Amino acid sequence: MAFEKIKVENPIVEMDGDEMTRVIWRLIKEKLILPFLEIDIKYFDLGLPHRDATDDRVTIESAEATLKYNVAVKCATITPGTVFREPILCKNIPRLVPEPTTADKSIELEVFNFTGSGGVALSMYNTDESIHAFAEASMNTAYKKRWPLYLSTKNTILKKYDGRFKDIFQQVYETEWRSKFEAMGIWYEHRLIDDMVAYSLKSEGGYVWACKNYDGDVQSDFLAQGFGSLGLMTSILVCPDGKTIEVEAAHGTVTRHYRVYQKGGETSTNSIASIFAWSRGLAHRAKLDSNALLLDFTQNLEAACITNVESGKMTKDLAILLHGPKVTRAQYLNTEEFIDAVAEDLRGRLPKRAKM
């Protein structure tokens, strides 16, 4: 008996990554995706060496392709370190010199006159257009899920910066979403970030939490670790229209495991977040294309992951939670063994056809 591959009518964008996640990404594609799907994958290598070789042009090209095809799946990538310029000193006052946009090369902006031995300054900006899009995406998500929406900021400290987020969210809600939310019995509310964190700890979920970037990074990692492992957390980036998405594992490239892998050692890296990046991206493709067979495949792929873990087949990070820090090698699977176990379970869930 052979598998009849499911035909995927429209392409998806694939963004490859770095280090250990690049290794498991390849295994997922080879063992869990290509054997079962007839699919056009638009491949972009976002590994750091290729980004450097193309002067990061490949990143722009992958984003443009995502806008064109609406669905992207992304492997975890390295965030390159920023090379900081030496501060320009004038009368012992540190100054920021922005990149000149005109012929005038003498533009200077005084940041702060330090009266002590020195210090640091923080400068950041956001556009109203970007904040408006963030608000639209958040409210669109809450509406689709039929869940209330909370925005968290620290506008008591960052009065103008965070206050701008608060004001624009409220404006978007009042002019475009309040009547829709109230008709559904849900609501939007702004809360201080510390109050929101306290609320999340005692809540049972069932709401959408709009976090600014740093707050979102901290809280999502906090919740993922509380539920077992960062290896279980997948991130879905949604455009305001709800049509275009990019899905990726929300953790890093697992450098420590990669160093062991490079030396030929055995690793036990949790691939579930990366597997779900593929499944959630493909599920969105299925919904856009009204492809019931593809949607069923994604559900079976996720169920295969869950069933394996519930039956005791898991990577070391999860086995430690079950058996304690003295877990033995017999109590967990290595990186490739886990993906093989998922593939075997998946094959048992999918229909087969007789060879012609």
Residue ranges for the binding site? 194, 217
Query: Phi and psi for 238 in degrees, rounded to 5?
Result: -120, 130
**Integer Cα distance of 73 and 301 in angstroms:** 15
Under a CB-based contact definition with an 8 Å cutoff, are residues 263 and 13 in contact? no
**Integer Cα distance of 335 and 315 in angstroms:** 7
Q: How many CA within 13 A on the CB side of residue 35?
A: 16
Query: Phi and psi for 157 in degrees, rounded to 5?
Result: -105, -55
**H or E element at residue 236:** strand 234-238
**Integer Cα distance of 346 and 356 in angstroms:** 23
Which of 235-261 are b and which e, b meaning 16 or more Cβ less than 10 Å from the residue's Cβ?
A: beebbbeeebbbbbbbbbbbeebbeeb
| DSSP tag of 331 | G
**Integer Cα distance of 4 and 350 in angstroms:** 9
Quick one: tokens of 277?
A: 């990046």
Which of 176-200 are b and which e, b meaning 16 or more Cβ less than 10 Å from the residue's Cβ?
A: ebeeebeeeebebebeebeebbeeb
| Beta bridge mates, 153 | 192
Query: Phi and psi for 3 in degrees, rounded to 5?
Result: -85, 135
Residues written for the chain: 356
List for the chain the helix, strand, coil content (%; round to 5): 50, 15, 35
Angle, vertex CA 295, rays to CA 308 and CA 208, nearest 5? 80
Question: Which residues belong to the annotated binding site for Mn(2+)?
Answer: 194, 217
